[in-house]
Chain A
Amino acid sequence: MAELSWVATAPLSHVLKPGHHGAETGGSGVAYTGLSDFALVQVMARRGKASALAKAAKAHFGVAAPLKPKAVAAGGSLLIWSGPDQFLALSPRDGLASPLASLAGPLAGAASLSDQSDARALIRIAGPRARDVLAKFCSLDLDASVFPVGTAAATSVDHTAVTLWRGEDTAGGAATFNLLVFTSFAESLWHMMLDAGAAYGIEVGEASYGV
């Protein structure tokens, strides 16, 4: 029998080439960072259990889970609204431990949990031209007056469902947006993003989430 071995690779590993891309003059208008080593759990209230989940989540995370399209910091986790009575819990990955292990007990009976850690790619878009890039492929109004830090959205980009939220501004005061996309769509989205940002100059990098 042939030897079979599995090699774990990040979903963007074939296309993400760190360094400068696009326009050579004027520096980098945007930075794209592929983030890995995160744990991601989809939490959905069971039928009729929305208030039980709200209570259990508050007890476990110490803050209320978002009931509106927002991303809320909860200790080491970020709780991102993903639809009515559901949210995503994003945190740095803890080695080989199942991301479900710490949530299964506290949320038992109130919610169904699904491990999405290896099902999504996480891309951070930051820099002075971040909004200009996003305006090319995202139909939402991302102006600071209507999309402040901590705002989230479930939307479609390039015919692909994404979860988008605005993170803290960079040290230089530039806006930061985060994008979760299904892994099988990540490469095609990435190519489109490189085209969209080329005119501004792109600094491509990769990092571990939360480090």
Chain B
Amino acid sequence: MSYVIEAEDISLSLGKKQILDQISFRVGEGEIFGLLGPSGAGKTTLIKLLTGQLKQDAGYARLLGRDTGGLGAAEHSQIGVMMDDLGLYERLSVYDNLAFYADIYHISRGKIEELLESVGLYEARRRAVSKLSKGMKNRLSLARALMREGKILFLDEPTSGLDPVTTRQMHEILAGLKKKGVTIFLTTHNMYEAASLCVRVALLNEGKIIEQGRPGEICRKYNDLNLLRVTLKSGEEVLLKNSPASALRMREYLEQDAIWAIHSTEPTLESVFIELTGKEWI
């Protein structure tokens, strides 16, 4: 597999504070890679670094094989970026925001309509951005990032602040892009999003990657977190390890006809995070 984003031992301090600490990962072509972490973990900072807006103190970062400190027109034309603050012109209309960038990129007006359709903003094209909902603004920012049909998309919390329906729409758009072979690097603090959308994820906490891999594999690796929650007819709840050691207890309960319900609590990215950091999520 060829890697389009590579980071090795990246560290960065701003002021006296260490923001990123020896970050290493690689993203293969066509993958959706999720950077998962609570607020303040360093997600936005890492995106800034990978897109050449910041320079690391140590280690190296490469985008399409090029050091991110020296990205040029060729690399810029291959990336689309949606930052957490979106960077839209609030007084201009939806259409004019895209028309401006179409002029900058030398892209035809026809493409704007196509993009607006694809993110479901065609009807709202004449509205001023300041009058849009958060979900609509996110989609407009995404449309702008898609304009040049680059190979790599950086999306900083594309679904933060969206309701479940709008989130689902966003996921469908992203899944469609993945089918077209676009590589997506996204950040999120929604672990369900990471687990369902991303081929691979990295868990980021206080500037360190504490675990990375396929979501399913990460969860299986922490199988000792896998518990059986047995609710007895008496109303009592018992937590048993999902292991042979629990067989005897289970047999007793079954023989006494004492069981009302059994639930298995497979580890989720969330419980793995809590196990690794000792912190609650967010």
A is bound by B: no
* A interface list, Cβ under 8 A from B: none
